[in-house]
Amino acid sequence: MNTKFTKQLAIKSIIFIGAIALFSLFPKKTQTASSNSLAQIPPFDNFPPKFLKPRKPQIQPSPATTPTPNPPEQPLIFAPPAQFIRQIVYKASISNSKVIALTFDDGPSPETLKILEVLQKHNAVATFFCLGRNLREYPEIAKKVVQAGNAIGNHTWHHYYHDVTEKTASNEIDYTGIHIHRSTGAKSLLFRPPGGRLNNGFADYAKKKNYVVVMWSIDPKDYQQLPADTIAHTVISQATSGAIVLMHDGGGPRQQTVEAVSAIIPKLKQQGYSFVTVPQLLQLQAEEKQQNGDLKPK
């Protein structure tokens, strides 16, 4: 009996010890599993933002109507009617109106501003034949000439009198034309040869470049610094419709010319004359010729 009891007791002890050992393993495994599971989920650095209501869709404004583009501005060109291209003109042939063209050579210069004041005071316009070297020095004055409604023309760069090669003529005339455009924004096909010389190469080249060579019909010789009343008397006494008057706004002080112009304009206006630019003068001749041609019996 004792032996049997002892065996049973030993078996129960072994079972009890095994059970204790078995139960001791469960917490360790559970803890390991829990640790591994937590390691796979990264912690939140920041809490997720609160949920907001969706924004109402914003209605975009309708695009503005595309404005109609303005037509490109036509470049200002001082040019005669086609029949005068490559021609030499001393005066215009006009009989149905009394018009006259004052012209001034050798500017622009500070004296030009004095001439402009007189012209504006009497609501008159003129044509200024400019030297390229003066255009480079006084571009703003040239710009004022055109802005006041006057015409501008080419008088070469240096005002040479002597014979020149075609290359020199090209440089003198073309570079002056460039500076006319730079200073005023205008182009000109009006040319006056220095000293009125037609056989030294300048006029020939100008005609090849489609200029009209503008001479004159009245020369009061103001470049000789004659008294103002002498200058004025010459112009007024020789005035005819279509006449082109030569005077100067450069080459030195021109106070006598300024005073003469102040007397010429009101006196000739009293006689019924209007003052126009050279292109306007030639246009009037072209229109009159066309009208007379239309009136002729067929």
Domains of the chain: 94-293 (3.20.20.370)
Q: State pLDDT tens for residues 76-95.
A: 999 999 999 999 999 999 99
Tell me if residue 162 is catalytic: no
Residue type, position 291, single letter: Q
For 6, half-sphere exposure in the C-beta direction (CA atoms, 13 angstrom radius) is 3
Residue 291: per-residue pLDDT: 87
Find the angle CA(40)-CA(41)-CA(44) to the nearest 5 degrees: 150
45, 105, 106, 162: which is the annotated catalytic residue?
A: 105
Q: Which of 155, 159, 179, 248 is catalytic?
A: 248
The string of pLDDT tens digits covering residues 13-26 is 666 665 555 555 54
Per-residue confidence at 183, pLDDT binned at 50, 70, 90? very high
Give the span between the Cα atoms of 271 and 190, in whole angstroms: 28
Q: What is the pLDDT of residues 102-143, one digit of tens each?
A: 999 999 999 999 999 999 999 999 999 999 999 999 999 999
> Are the beta carbons of 152 and 142 closer than 8 angstroms?
yes
The DSSP-derived string for 252-280 is S--HHHHHHHHHHHHHHHHTT-EE--HHH
Higher per-residue pLDDT: 41 or 77: 77
For residue 265, pLDDT over 80 is answered with yes
Clarify whether 105 is annotated catalytic.
Answer: yes
